[in-house]
Amino acid sequence: MGKKIVVVGGGPGGYVAALRAASLGADVTLIEKENLGGTCLNWGCIPSKIMKNTAEILHKCRKAKDFGIHLDGAVLPDMAGLMARKEKILDSQRTGIAGLLQGRNVHVEKGCGRITGRGTATVTAADGTTTSLSWDKLIIATGTTPMNVPDFAFDGKKILSSNDILVLSHIPETLTIVGGGVIGCEFACIFAALGTKVTVVEAMSRLLPLPSVDTSTSRLLLREMKKQKITVFCDTVVTACDTSAKGCSISLSKSPFTDNLQAKDPKKDTLYSDLMAVCIGRTPLSSDLGLETIGLETEGPGWIPVNDRMETGVENVYAIGDILGPSRVMLAHVASHEGLVAAGNAMGQEETMSYNAVPGAIFTMPEIGTVGVSEGQALKSGMAIDTASVNFRVLGKAHAIDEIAGEAKMVVEKDTGRVLGVHLIGAHATDLIAEATLAVAKGLTAQDLAHTIHAHPTMAEIMGEVASKAVGMPVHG
């Protein structure tokens, strides 16, 4: 009989780890308390992209005349129809994952998993029945939940989490989003396209205040969001939200967290909107796992520390995905790769996790794709670099599809010309970043990319354009 491996959590890290371990000959049990696919499939990546697709179609329909199309009558969003489509797709994806697990003889236990000691665990089902399990190796992949703020806690009616937004039965006339990070900016663009008057409140000096997102990308996104009639308050925090009346009365003040030394008080101290969505971070789901029974200590609010083999401080126990916290990279595709590494090592292989070339995909309008270091990160680290930037409007395809807003920026090592980072904002940027990811991962130079033939007319030409400019032979940029 193979090693008994128990995986707690059926998200993109957990189910991939289970599949990999089973392929290597393990006897695998996967515990999932809700639906297979985790946050990404059920409450994040996929449902929000389904909504974004509808929003983009609606936006295109409103511009039909510009494309030589005449539409009779009003073009209106149908929230009930959108939600029905979303659920159909999610159900199909869950069924697909279940089929993969079944095909590799992974046993799935539905319920809340809890570690009860070295080598043992229990699963408590919704009806209260308990199943005992034994394990030789344990992989923890329980993920996170939206962070709640006591001063304006989620009520699911007027103060919403990112989960609540995905099950709205109507399109609000006005919506305030607290947090100008990835989730907040994505929802801002979606609801603005659906017809909502959106306001974003961000504590830092720019939208997407992440080290991996170049400041020029943030500036361009702000410009495009303003074109979409989205109001943005940076250097600002929400201090309270009164829901006693019809909507939300939201109190604002200057942010104590901003990196802007010249930050001023907000132009208004109160906002009024139908709903307020709070998208400011995630909280680890580790408190009820029974980690104390095996002596596994956590950090901060409950993050689990690991090494690059995904091993925790307890022998035979691994952890992957968002439960590792912001010291790693909290992305679904990273969790999946961590799952492969953890499963391989649990089965006796020698694998390590590298975060040197992790692509970031942000589904704003326009989209953003990033990989490697930003200019700011490079300069802060003392790297000798050159940068080159090209606007998407140089591409014939961008004009053909009426998506000319955007920029490609490349960060290269001055002495070698090696590509250290690429930052794209524009149509299909989340797909286009794949070539740049390979370049960073394999240590390719801007010269290598500049001399790679890119099909014309395509959006992919932007990589050739920016690489050509980086090596001093610009074509159109």
Catalogue the active-site residues: 456
Distance of CA 215 to the CA centre of its chain: 18
d(CA 315, CA 116): 15
Query: What token pair was written down for 425?
Result: 């904002």
φ/ψ region of 208 (left if φ > 0, alpha if ψ in -120 to 50, else beta) reads left
Separation CA 378–CA 211 (nearest Å): 10
Please tell me the distance from the alpha carbon of residue 123 to that of residue 107, in angstroms, as a whole number. 13
Rounded Cα distance, 428 and 363, in Å: 9
C-alpha–C-alpha distance, residues 438 and 371, integer Å: 10
Please name which of 45, 247, 307 lies closest in space to residue 166, comparing C-alpha atoms: 45
Query: Which of the 8 DSSP states describes residue 291?
Result: G
Contact present, 174 and 196 (Cβ < 8 Å): yes
Pull the structure tokens for residue 214.
């170049």
List beta partners, residue 138. 6, 317
Do residues 79 and 171 touch, judged by C-beta distance below 8 A?
yes
Check if the beta carbon of residue 340 is closer than 8 Å to that of residue 318.
Answer: no
The answer to whether 446 and 456 are in contact (CB under 8 A) is no
**Rounded CA Rg of the chain:** 24
Structure-token pair, residue 441: 């991962």
* Neighbour tally for 117: CB within 10 Å: 9
Which 3-state string (H, E, C) describes 354-366? CCCCCCEEECCCC
φ and ψ of 117, to 5 deg: 165, 180
Peptide bond into 305 cis (omega under 30): no
Residue of 277, 306, 260 whose CA lies nearest to 138: 306
Establish whether the linkage from the previous residue to 457 is cis, with ω within 30° of 0: yes
Q: What is the CA angle 88-93-98, rounded to 5? A: 125
